[in-house]
Structure 1
Amino acid sequence: MPRAVRFDEYGGIDVLRVEEVERPAPGPGEVLVEVKAAGINPGEAAIREGRLRDVFPATFPSGQGSDLAGVVAETGEGVGGFAPGDEVLGFTEKRASHADFVLVEAGNLIMRPSGIPWEAAGALFVVGATAYAAVRAVASGPGDTVVVSGAAGGVGSLAVQLARHTGATAIGLASEANHAWLSDHGVIPVSYGEGVADRIRAASGGSVDAFIDTFGADYVELAIELGVAPDRIDTIINFAAAQKYGVKTEGNAAAASSDVLAELARMIDQGALELPVARTYPLDQVREAFRELEQRHTRGKIVLKP
């Protein structure tokens, strides 16, 4: 029987289990996808832990997962453009992609370009749409210097590349272990920690135009200290600081569409964008996957492969 990740209560990784479930049947407008790869994201951990229960409450037993890539198994009534055997990528809004099979609204899928590996295709939507929205929010453009915190993470690694594609100079805050990767992608690497403001000023020539915070901590305050205008600061995580300083909080929801997904997929297919994959895990090791995610030191994405 097909398997799916489930949890029955809020809690740590120990509440996660993989159980056998009935194979879903597509309804009108739905596509049943046999999942080949599905990314995991910090937001899923936050939902499972109950930290977002006021905004995204769980109904138990709950599944999890948004990102996915796989092969069309069946199509429901009224679905056009997809047929069994098609290779696709996309997203579900029903917290269900961490499974062998998932039902997806046809409008949330695109064909998988041949140049995108399964692992990257199955991990693209959440981080891709988030990075796309953040770069757009800070109005990155030619002549700008844009700083990105967490620049080697899932969102940050895409944000620095997308900022460069707008014509901006990108400065990426990351550990030294990730500096070579950033340099190889045309990004100026800067180590985080004590003295980071001075290192950023030196790397930027003294002027920073925009700041994207993908990590949290005190990076919004750092952006303010560097003289960045609040309307050119975007944080996807520190909402208290955003409210205090009046900075933006545009993330995944601001760019969640198949059109944005298709644009990002084309860039990867053409070699203009890379989504690094740190590690893959089989579905039955979902706990181990989230344990690594919670360390917050991976380059790019962690992906489940059912």
Structure 2
Amino acid sequence: MNATKYYIAVISAFTIWGFFSVVLKSLDDFTAFDILSYRSVLSAAIMMVITLLLRPKALKKNVSLFKSFESKIQYRILWINMLSGLFLALNWYIFIYVMNNVSVSATSLAYLICPILTMVLAFIILKEKLFKLQWFSVALSFLGCLLLSLGNFMDLFYSMIIAFSYAIYLILQRKNQEMDRFVVLTFQISFAVILLFPFFMTYDFNTEKTTFFYSMILLIAVVFTIIPMYLNIYALKGLPSSVVGVFIYLNPIINFFLAIFYFKEEITLMQGLSYVLIIISIIIFNIPALKHRIHRRRAAHIQ
């Protein structure tokens, strides 16, 4: 199987998410919950419109496909996608809670911890194989995260919760391969919005919304939600969860460089060392896969 397109998909997804902070920074006048609520509802609405009006044949085909499965498989598909929506909702809500009530650094740390959890959970739950060199990269990235969390235990605790919810979501997608990826994502995001709806109803939306706010939310919904999430679950169709998980590091690494060169923030020596360790761990983790692909190409060329 040619995995290049899946690598392109996962790299594109987390690269896009890496630049999310640039857009979010322009919405400083609005609360995080304002952004979350409008983003999630608009994303679900857009995907529903696309699925119902622009892709009716794909929807009809997938409904027929679902009906053709035996009841055991149907229940499994439903449960996996409902759980996926639940963990998406949990991830979004806890992320916003931590950002508003704990610290922004805790949410950033979550993106660094998530790949480690994903790799370990994929090994435990899905029995995905990890080479010794990859285990070394896990340890190295864990060390980098540990250095970043020194003196901030509560940040580490909340980061673990955020990271765990998204790691479980990634793991679930590896067992969610039967249906069309866009239809599946539409169901998941719509279900997540339904679960979050009680919080939307009880929240006091005081800040006056501007045309700029709505245009940025539209950009966030399409470019920073629908497209990267679709690319993410598409990549999981052809790549192990552990491999997809490690590319999550692209997000905080891009944020790190944006903080230095775009937002002109001061970075400590400890932070710099931590990110260097994490970058090295990504390179080390992908060495076995790169060697395997080189050997396959050589073998194919000899034949």
TM-score (norm 1): 0.26
Which structure dedicates a bigger proportion of its chain to helix? 2
Whose strand fraction is larger, Structure 1's or Structure 2's? 1
Q: Which has the higher contact order (CA 8 A, sep 6+)?
A: 2
